[in-house]
Amino acid sequence: MKARVTVTLKNGVLDPQGKAIEGSLAALGFSGIEGVRQGKVFDLELTSTSKEKADEEIKAMCEKLLANTVIENYAVEML
């Protein structure tokens, strides 16, 4: 079973990396960009065949390792 976890910064948390990308895009001549926020994505491959069990396990992985829940949100998507 495959799953995708998307980890993004919470609203209000400063994102200097995103700001730098925004600046670089502007320097390259792309106009009309109001904001860029960068996040992470994890593509997991699991042996589990039960969707519910996998979902639960992935949430535990996010809480423990994949996301810093103080400043980040995560979303799990089964593929």
Torsion over CA of 59, 60, 64 and 68, rounded to 10 degrees?
20
The distance of closest approach from Cβ of residue 67 to a second copy in the complex, given in angstroms and rounded to an integer, is 12
Answer yes or no whether residue 76 interacts with a second copy by CB under 8 A.
Answer: no
H or E, element range at 78: strand 72-78
The distance of closest approach from Cβ of residue 52 to a second copy in the complex, given in angstroms and rounded to an integer, is 14
Distance, C-alpha 19 to centroid of its chain: 17
Question: CB-wise, 18 or 70, nearer to a second copy?
Answer: 18
H or E, element range at 3: strand 2-9
Q: Going residue by residue from 19 to 38, which x/- string records binding to a second copy, judged by CB under 8 A?
A: --x--xx--x-x-xxxxxxx
The span from the CA of 23 to the CA of 19, in Å, is: 6
Residues that bind a second copy (CB under 8 A): 6, 8, 18, 21, 24-25, 28, 30, 32-48, 57, 60-61, 64-66
